[in-house]
Amino acid sequence: MDQQLPDRLAIRDLVENWAVWRDAGDWERFATVWHDEGWMSATWFQGPARDFMRVSQEGFARGVRILHFLGGTSIDLAGARAIAQTKMTISQRALVHDVLCDVVCTGRFYDFLEKRQDQSGIGNWGIVRRQPIYEKDRIDPVDPAATLRLDQKALAALPEGYRHLAYMQELIGYKVKRDMPGLTGAEVEKLYGEGRIWLAGKVS
């Protein structure tokens, strides 16, 4: 129990640093929250964390702003492994049919973490895999007097938990993954199962 508290504090610090450093464009420090083989999944990107950092940096330079706000965290610890679930919102601003809009998506970050020894023998936590869970979202014109008309057929074809976010991202050129975990369903149950395998010391 004595070691659990510093581990929990270190994990929470890491999760908070991920959001602050990425949104601020602090790429050098952002790289430190990942282990070397870290894997990131998002609506618009799935791949190695090093590639996620590169495309995020490129998008940031072009003016793309995908911002994050964090809430509470629940951490399951099993020795040198952990699963952290953190309430979050993702917000993005872009033109939608010539109307400047904000999309806000509510969900959780579901993180697979591991504590590893560095060359000096100090144990450091890092993210091995991050999988967001997309629970619900909405879209609003920045100017409340503006009129926004969405293609209802195209919107209905997108996953419920992130359909407005996906709608905006596809309009600006991203290819959006259609089977991300939501609040309920087979995808999120599969993720929970992979989390249990991770905590048991196995590779999912």
* Position 101 pLDDT exceeds 60: yes
The residue written with tokens 């048991």 in the block is 200
4-193 topology per CATH: Nuclear Transport Factor 2; Chain: A, (3.10.450)
Tokens found for residue 74: 């629940």
Q: What is the pLDDT of residue 169?
A: 95
Higher pLDDT, 18 or 120: 18
pLDDT tens digit sequence for 5-57 = 999 999 999 999 999 999 999 999 999 999 999 999 999 999 999 999 999 99
The pTM of the whole model exceeds 0.85 = yes
pLDDT tens digit sequence for 174-195 = 999 999 999 999 999 999 999 9
